[in-house]
Amino acid sequence: MREFLKRGPDTPLSEAQMSAAPFSGWRGIGVVLTTLFGFGFFNVLIGVFGLLAAIIALVLFISLSTLIFRWAQPERTRS
């Protein structure tokens, strides 16, 4: 995981090394609960603001998440 986090902004994601830790049951439960929470939140957006606003919000959320993830992080010095 450290190699993945330490990659440079010009390193493709395919070159990043993922953790060799096995997929645990707790992680699987977390993935399912997060997916259900996101699904419920999206349905609330549809019910409150309508389908068009919910789709725009979803596209904006995904775009901003991608932008923040790909943003170059400043190098930190260890003290």
The pTM (predicted TM-score) of the whole model is 0.47
Closest CA to 9 of 62, 59, 68, 77: 68
**What are residue 77's phi and psi, to 5 degrees?**
-95, 140
**Residues 6 or more apart whose Cβ sits within 8 Å of residue 42:** 54, 58
pLDDT tens track for 5-59: 565 656 555 555 555 566 788 888 888 998 899 888 888 888 999 999 988 988 9
Cα 36 from Cα 6, distance rounded (Å): 31
